[in-house]
A and B are shown apart, each in its own frame.
Chain A
């Protein structure tokens, strides 16, 4: 985690800018959803759709497109800037090492880290990190927005959601230990492979072929065992959280429909709730997987010294 904090600190302007872009994009999407709700309410009450309403809707469509573009662009750029800080930070740290004092000419280890941990962390930063952050951000903002809209209806789906979050928290904690072990085994296996390549001459001269293969096979078996365990556990937790994430939606649909029938809320309001609640549902459904991937990311980062 400390490496991630260093990366955020070194790119604080871009991180702040991407958070702002995500905030604008999410707010725009929420207000657009609200506008759709109003449109449904107007149709339901057979009210006229005014020109100003159409202009507002058009403005929101443009704003949605622009903020989404800004969010994607700034998010990708920030991710790339952070990935660059990570690569250059690692290279700088390597160059600072003293050849004379330490056996830091451990080229195999450096190669293995550069090819595996660094590459995986870069991929995660570039492809996943800001997408996940954005979705979690959206889930949080949507909940706050809905609380302002109707406290009772929000609590109706928020209470079961909170119970599911407790399950996700504990299952993720259980999963993160296995993920961390599996990732360490993978790193160890890669290091053995790179060491064999690096020490090729020594292996040939001293007849270490059998020993090298044995070491590689042992590290491969250890990794396979941990990886299979992680895959099984991850699939189970994700399936359960996926099933459970449907419960708040069903309760919302049931209670919301009753409120619409009783005339407590309009149909458009319920549609806004259903639309925005889905951002929370999808976040919860994927949370164990996201947390597992985040653990892999932080385990990789912990092996990259950039301090």
Chain B
């Protein structure tokens, strides 16, 4: 469960939001929409433990310390933030893995067809090939990374905003495939991406209004 009670966040002496409260139950899927710059990404980063609230605290699965919260969540951001390493290293981030599970993740993230076509497969080095990587491929690697971590909470920060229609659909399909049993908070400015979500909030003037 995620619980925020009267949480505030200040950036350069101005409040991005003040006294904000939100409770998300286990397995619930919550969407947050709002215009660019309204603070929805800041809120998501706070829930992920990456931004520290100015006042009060947040509780994510019983964790209040940011270092502990980070371990409980997976995040897919607008930019995939890949490292100049192999595809497999970008997915596992150097953690131990078994081949069978990786195969399943690659399939679920819609990466299999592409990685099978590469001479070095999952060991393909991305450093010199970053420019050859499409936005969709990079974002699907980021999703595979989130799948590999297998945290109970998934935070999505406009994961398809830089993609065209076809790539966005493929990325959303990959996300929906592995989030059926997870708590999801999805921040986006496109409401149609939140079909089937339990609750949708509109963020405006630093407040969350249920839409």
Binds A, one of B11-19, B69-77, B100-108, B171-179: B69-77
- Contact mask for chain A residues 134-165; partner B; CB cutoff 8 A; 1 contact, 0 none: 00000000000000000000000000000000
| Chain B interface residue bracket vs A | 35 or more
A211 with B89: CB separation less than 8 A: yes
B84 with A215: CB separation less than 8 A: yes
Q: Which residues of A contact B142 (CB under 8 A)?
A: 202
Q: Which residues of A contact B45 (CB under 8 A)?
A: 201
**Contact flag A102-B81 (CB < 8 Å), given A205-B73, A208-B94, A210-B94:** no
Query: Which residues of A65-99 have CB atoms within 8 Å of chain B's CB atoms?
Result: 99
User: In this complex, what residue of B is CB-closest to A207?
Assistant: B93
**Contact flag A201-B84 (CB < 8 Å), given A103-B130, A211-B93:** no
A215 with B83: CB separation less than 8 A: yes
- Contact mask for chain A residues 39-77; partner B; CB cutoff 8 A; 1 contact, 0 none: 000000000000000000000000000000000000000
User: In this complex, what residue of A is CB-closest to B74?
Assistant: A205
Give, as a whole number of angstroms, the nearest-CB distance from B44 to chain A. Answer: 11
- Answer yes or no: B192 CB below 8 A from chain A CBs: no
Binds A, one of B24-32, B56-64, B133-141, B194-202: B133-141
Q: How far is the CA of A103 from the CA of B134 in the complex (A)?
A: 5
Query: Which residues of B79-119 have CB atoms within 8 Å of chain A's CB atoms?
Result: 79-85, 89, 93-95
Q: Which residues of A contact B70 (CB under 8 A)?
A: 204-205
- Answer yes or no: B2 CB below 8 A from chain A CBs: no
- Answer yes or no: A186 CB below 8 A from chain B CBs: no
Q: Which of B48, B89, B131 contacts A103 (CB 8 A)?
A: B131
Q: Which of A99, A107, A196 contacts B162 (CB 8 A)?
A: A99
Q: Which residues of B contact A99 (CB under 8 A)?
A: 135, 162
B145 with A206: CB separation less than 8 A: yes
Q: How far is the CA of A130 from the CA of B95 in the complex (A)?
A: 51
Q: How far is the CA of A164 from the CA of B29 in the complex (A)?
A: 76
- Answer yes or no: A281 CB below 8 A from chain B CBs: no
- Answer yes or no: A195 CB below 8 A from chain B CBs: yes
Q: Which of B50, B71, B133, B145 contacts A201 (CB 8 A)?
A: B50
Q: Which of A103, A108, A199, A210 contacts B133 (CB 8 A)?
A: A103
Give, as a whole number of angstroms, the nearest-CB distance from B164 to chain A. Answer: 5
- Answer yes or no: B149 CB below 8 A from chain A CBs: yes
Interface centre among B71, B130, B137, B138 (most CB of A within 10 A): B130
A105 with B134: CB separation less than 8 A: no
**Contact flag A191-B145 (CB < 8 Å), given A101-B134, A215-B83, A215-B85:** no
Query: Which residues of A3-30 have CB atoms within 8 Å of chain B's CB atoms?
Result: none
Q: Which residues of A contact B81 (CB under 8 A)?
A: 198-199, 201-202
B138 with A195: CB separation less than 8 A: no
Q: Which residues of B contact A264 (CB under 8 A)?
A: none
A100 with B84: CB separation less than 8 A: no
Give, as a whole number of angstroms, the nearest-CB distance from A69 to chain B. Answer: 45
Count of interface residues, chain A, beta-carbon cutoff 8 Å: 31
User: In this complex, what residue of A is CB-closest to B146?
Assistant: A206
Q: Which of B50, B93, B137, B163 contacts A208 (CB 8 A)?
A: B93
Query: Which residues of A210-257 have CB atoms within 8 Å of chain B's CB atoms?
Result: 210-212, 214-215
- Answer yes or no: A104 CB below 8 A from chain B CBs: yes
Q: Which residues of B contact A122 (CB under 8 A)?
A: none
- Answer yes or no: B121 CB below 8 A from chain A CBs: no
Q: Which residues of B contact A206 (CB under 8 A)?
A: 74, 93, 145, 149
Q: Which residues of B contact A192 (CB under 8 A)?
A: 83-84, 127
A214 with B74: CB separation less than 8 A: no
Q: Which of B79, B93, B135 contacts A100 (CB 8 A)?
A: B135
Q: Which residues of A contact B145 (CB under 8 A)?
A: 202, 206
Q: How far is the CA of A300 from the CA of B177 in the complex (A)?
A: 44
**Contact flag A101-B84 (CB < 8 Å), given A109-B130, A204-B50, A206-B149:** no
Q: Which residues of A contact B73 (CB under 8 A)?
A: 205
A105 with B162: CB separation less than 8 A: yes
Q: Which residues of A contact B164 (CB under 8 A)?
A: 100-101
Between A and B, 23 residue pairs with Cβ closer than 8 Å are A99-B135, A99-B162, A100-B164, A101-B134, A102-B134, A103-B80, A103-B134, A105-B79, A109-B131, A188-B127, A192-B84, A192-B127, A201-B45, A201-B75, A201-B81, A202-B83, A204-B70, A205-B70, A207-B71, A211-B83, A211-B94, A215-B83, A215-B89
A residues in contact (CB < 8 Å) with B: 99-109, 188, 191-192, 195-196, 198-199, 201-208, 210-212, 214-215
B residues in contact (CB < 8 Å) with A: 45, 48, 50, 70-71, 73-75, 77, 79-85, 89, 93-95, 127, 130-135, 137-138, 142, 145, 149, 162-164
